[in-house]
């Protein structure tokens, strides 16, 4: 059976620079919005989403029984920073999703919004427009990222049970409690069901997925796998549909990593700290209490406890130097 579906690239003035693509199935289902390059120096997610749209376009040709339920939308998070390959222009867009920032943004006239303030308003409006247009029963947001250090493949759920179930379906290590160590992320906004549509909050399920190091070509493959796993988990496609070679790359990479961990410590960077990570650390590398991890203007920085290091900062811009997590046993 052939289906009627639609892939629309860069359509409509509001989405002209932000929309990666849109795929609508012949049956109703969840609206899955994948946001890539919320940090402009993380292009792997954009490449991955483009490839997923290509695979979906080909699927009916090789699989006549293919049926897609729902809609998939891909959006670029920070278009200005993405164009120049920089994490952000003035401030981290993935730290601005707080009620205070959103009120300030809404009170600022459109013509006066600059850099990330403009991006915040436009991205929020784009999501709201997609929801209003499709009117789904379920809204799912997948936030794709990469890290400056190698080995960073894991997913971050919210405290919502549905988010944790979805995270476990992505077949990558799950890190619990990350939102407790951060503020103002897109995932915080999703978890709070703050996408107001028609004046009412809209229930949403969100997961963030870290696909690996920024320039690693396999980060694209792992992000592709995460998107396809999400589509399967929420019922947009069947388990046997869509090319699965990327899935095996993700499973193989994650096989030796801890399955579930919880955040224990975050080293926050303040202005003027002159933070510098010691070379050679990779994600999920074991560290011991008292180990010399980094230095700043105050001197050496030591690990406060045993665990695994996550996201050691090896780029000039960032507000968090490293995270320490500990494995949770069944």
Span 258-312, pLDDT tens digits = 999 999 999 999 999 999 999 999 999 999 999 999 999 999 999 999 999 999 9
Please give the structure tokens belonging to residue 241: 């549909």
Q: What is the three-class DSSP state of 97?
A: coil
Decide if 1 is inside a domain: no
Q: What Cα–Cα distance (Å) separates residue 116 from each residue in 107, 119, 219?
A: 15, 5, 25
> Looking at residue 287, which CATH number applies to its domain?
2.40.50
Q: How far is 289 from 268, CA to CA, in rounded Å? A: 18
Count of domains for the chain: 2
Judge contact between 28 and 6, C-beta under 8 A: no
DSSP state of 320: E
Say if residue 105 is in the same domain as residue 231. Answer: yes
Determine the pLDDT at residue 161: 93
217-233 vs 161-168: helix axis angle to the nearest 10?
Answer: 130
Q: Which residues contact 135 (CB under 8 A, 6 or more apart)?
A: none
Q: How many CB atoms lie within 10 A of CB 9?
A: 12
> Looking at residue 106, which CATH number applies to its domain?
3.40.630.10
Q: How far is 46 from 39, CA to CA, in rounded Å? A: 11
Decide if 274 is inside a domain: yes
Domain end among 254, 288, 313: 254
φ, ψ dihedrals at 132, nearest 5°: -65, -35
C-alpha torsion sign, points 170, 174, 177, 179: negative
Residue 100 has pLDDT above 60, yes or no: yes
Say if residue 169 is in the same domain as residue 282. Answer: no
Judge contact between 49 and 212, C-beta under 8 A: no
Q: What Cα–Cα distance (Å) separates residue 213 from each residue in 44, 155, 260, 282, 289?
A: 9, 14, 20, 10, 26
Say if residue 291 is in the same domain as residue 311. Answer: yes
Q: What is the three-class DSSP state of 294?
A: strand
Q: How far is 209 from 295, CA to CA, in rounded Å? A: 29
Q: Specify which residues 214 forms β-bridges with.
A: none
Please give the structure tokens belonging to residue 260: 């579930």
Which tens digit of pLDDT belongs to each residue from 176-197? 999 998 889 999 999 876 677 7
Determine the pLDDT at residue 318: 85
Say if residue 233 is in the same domain as residue 265. Answer: no
Q: What is the DSSP string of 248-269?
A: HHHHHHHTTS-SEEEEEEEEEP
Owning domain of residue 309? 260-327
Say if residue 229 is in the same domain as residue 285. Answer: no
Determine the pLDDT at residue 194: 67
Say if residue 265 is in the same domain as residue 138. Answer: no
Domain end among 238, 254, 270: 254
Q: How far is 76 from 188, CA to CA, in rounded Å? A: 18
Determine the pLDDT at residue 243: 76
Which tens digit of pLDDT belongs to each residue from 118-144? 999 999 999 989 999 998 989 999 999
φ, ψ dihedrals at 294, nearest 5°: -160, 180
Q: How far is 202 from 81, CA to CA, in rounded Å? A: 29
Judge contact between 211 and 51, C-beta under 8 A: no
Which tens digit of pLDDT belongs to each residue from 298-329? 999 999 999 999 999 999 888 899 999 999 97
Structure pTM?
0.91
Which helix H or strand E contains 30, and what residues bound it?
Answer: strand 27-36
Q: Which residues contact 7 (CB under 8 A, 6 or more apart)?
A: 21, 22, 23, 53, 56, 57
Say if residue 167 is in the same domain as residue 116. Answer: yes
């Amino acid at each position: 059976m052939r289906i009627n579906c639609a892939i629309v690239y860069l359509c409509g003035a509001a989405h002209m620079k932000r929309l990666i693509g849109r795929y609508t199935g012949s049956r109703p289902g969840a609206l899955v919005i994948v946001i890539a390059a919320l940090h402009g120096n993380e292009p792997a997610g954009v490449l991955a989403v483009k490839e997923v749209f290509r695979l979906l376009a080909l699927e009916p040709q090789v699989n006549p029984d293919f049926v897609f339920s729902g809609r998939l939308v891909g959006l670029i998070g920070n278009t200005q920073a993405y164009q120049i390959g920089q994490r952000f222009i003035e401030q981290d867009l993935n730290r601005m999703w707080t009620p205070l920032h959103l009120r300030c943004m809404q009170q600022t006239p459109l013509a006066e919004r600059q850099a990330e303030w403009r991006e915040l308003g436009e991205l929020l409006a784009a999501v709201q427009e997609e929801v209003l247009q499709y009117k789904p029963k379920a809204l799912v947001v997948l936030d794709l990222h990469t890290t400056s250090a190698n080995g960073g493949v894991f997913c971050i759920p919210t405290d919502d049970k549905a988010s944790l179930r979805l995270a476990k379906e992505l077949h990558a290590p799950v890190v619990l409690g990350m939102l407790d160590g951060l503020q103002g992320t897109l995932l915080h906004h999703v978890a709070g069901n703050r996408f107001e549509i028609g004046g009412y909050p809209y229930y949403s399920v969100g997961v963030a997925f870290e696909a690996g190091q920024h320039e690693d070509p396999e980060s694209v493959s792992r992000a592709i796998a995460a998107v396809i796993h999400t589509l399967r988990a929420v019922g947009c496609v069947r388990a046997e549909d869509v090319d699965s070679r990327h899935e095996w790359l993700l499973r193989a990479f994650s096989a030796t990593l801890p399955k579930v961990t919880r955040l224990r410590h975050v080293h926050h960077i303040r202005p003027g700290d002159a933070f510098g990570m010691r070379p050679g650390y990779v994600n999920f590398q074991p560290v011991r209490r008292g180990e010399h991890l980094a230095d700043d203007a105050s001197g050496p920085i030591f690990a406060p406890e045993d665990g695994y290091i996550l996201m050691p900062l090896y780029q000039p811009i960032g507000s968090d130097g490293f995270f320490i997590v500990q494995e949770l046993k069944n």
